[in-house]
Amino acid sequence: MVGGCDAAVLIASKNNDAEKDAPDNESLAGDGFDTINRVKAAVEKRCPGVVSCADIIALAARDVVYLADGPYWRVELGRLDGLDSRASDVKGKLPDPDMHVKDLTPVFQRNGFTEVDMVALSGAHTVGFAHCSRFTDRLYSYGGARTDPSFNPAYAYQLKQACPIDVGPTIAVNMDPVSPIRFDNAYYANLQDGLGLFTSDQVLYADEATRPIVDMFAASQKDFFDAFVAAMLKLGRLGVKTGKDGEIRRVCTAFNH
């Protein structure tokens, strides 16, 4: 959603000014980058200059979801890799953990996503992790020096044990406290129970505009899966580079030139 599906986030910079270095991307897993790089190296040995890093990311996202018991879909291929990657381009382009629905909606709408798409894509938080620093304000400084009352009290207590107020920057917790390694619709049932980790998660249930969508996905995993696949296909078409606007990188972490 920054410059499109163009693998700009894989570029490594000596000056730490590439897209991956932006504060909003600090929770991206290093082993995820390593996996993509290893896949690219293996592909280049067999068919050099044919498969882009952008396509590998799209395929890997699908496979991770499927291997975690989520849906399978046919990934559209043929993207080229982008020719620039700047941390300065990220600000304001991605959903922020502290956003409310009124702030989230424009971020998605300007990229062609509906509210249903937005809530479906948020369901990706049924797997993965988040560093404590991304949500501790909800635990210790909500409206002063208190805990966000929308938290389930038992969950807030559990999070405080994992993330004390002086927690280190590398400590992280699962996004989904119920089924953290399964791609399922538990995320939405969690929101109904006050188990959303980020403000941007829990507000989907608190806001009257998106609550019916949360309820629908909580009641039907099939409806969630169908909506998620449709939204992922849209996401994969964002900012696709073709012709002189892109290249097939030899190494995902560096431009060819």
Q: Of 141, 117, 120, 139, which is closest to residue 197 (Cα–Cα)?
A: 139
Residues 218-235 have a mean pLDDT of 98
Overall domain count for the chain: 2
Would you say residue 173 has pLDDT above 70? yes
Q: Does 120 share its domain with 80?
A: no
191 within domain boundaries? yes
pTM of the model: 0.92
For the chain, the straight-line distance linking the first and the last C-alpha, in angstroms and rounded, comes to 25
Position 28 scores a pLDDT of: 67
Q: Does 219 share its domain with 109?
A: yes
Would you say residue 106 has pLDDT above 70? yes
Position 27 scores a pLDDT of: 62
Q: Which residues contribute to the annotated binding site for substrate? A: 95
Q: Does 56 share its domain with 139?
A: no
pLDDT tens sequence across 34-79 = 899 999 999 999 999 999 999 999 999 999 999 999 999 999 999 9
Q: Which residues contribute to the annotated binding site for Ca(2+)? A: 2, 4, 6, 19, 126, 176, 184
Burial pattern 47-71, b for ≥16 Cβ within 10 A else e, equals eeeebbbbbbbbbebbebbeebebb
pLDDT tens sequence across 126-155 = 999 999 999 999 999 988 889 999 999 999
CA gap 147, 158 in Å, rounded: 13
- As to burial, measured by CB atoms within 10 angstroms (0-12 exposed, 13-18 middle, 19+ buried), residue 80 is buried
Position 3 scores a pLDDT of: 73
175 within domain boundaries? yes
257 within domain boundaries? no
Q: Does 55 share its domain with 135?
A: no
Q: Which residues contribute to the annotated binding site? A: 2, 4, 6, 19, 95, 125-126, 176, 184
Q: Does 114 share its domain with 219?
A: yes
Residue 119's domain comprises 101-233
Neighbours of 251 (CB within 10 A): 14
Q: Does 46 share its domain with 154?
A: no
Amino acid at 15: N
Q: Does 105 share its domain with 130?
A: yes
The answer to whether the Cα torsion of 105, 88, 27, 136 is positive or negative is negative
24 within domain boundaries? yes
Q: Looking only at Cα atoms, what is the longest distance across the chain?
A: 58
155 within domain boundaries? yes
Position 75 scores a pLDDT of: 97
CATH classification at residue 147: 1.10.420.10
Q: Does 217 share its domain with 145?
A: yes
- Give every CB contact of residue 165 below 8 A, 6+ residues apart in sequence: 136, 139, 140
Note whether 121 and 111 are within 8 A (CB): no
CATH classification at residue 41: 1.10.520.10
Q: Which residues contribute to the annotated binding site for heme b? A: 125
Amino acid at 206: A
203 within domain boundaries? yes
Q: Does 184 share its domain with 200?
A: yes
Q: Of 201, 204, 199, which is closest to residue 135 (Cα–Cα)?
A: 199
Q: Does 145 share its domain with 49?
A: no
Quick one: DSSP state of residue 142? B
The answer to whether the Cα torsion of 207, 117, 59, 18 is positive or negative is negative
256 within domain boundaries? no
Pairwise pLDDT comparison (31 vs 119), residue with the higher score? 119
Q: Of the given ranges (128-142, 150-164, 189-203, 210-224), which has the lowest mean pLDDT?
A: 128-142
Inter-CA distances, 4 with 9, 52, 157, Å: 10, 14, 39
Q: Does 85 share its domain with 136?
A: no
Would you say residue 196 has pLDDT above 70? yes
Q: Of the given ranges (26-35, 37-46, 104-113, 247-256), which has the lowest mean pLDDT?
A: 26-35
255 within domain boundaries? no
Q: Residue 225, SS3?
A: helix
Q: Does 149 share its domain with 63?
A: no
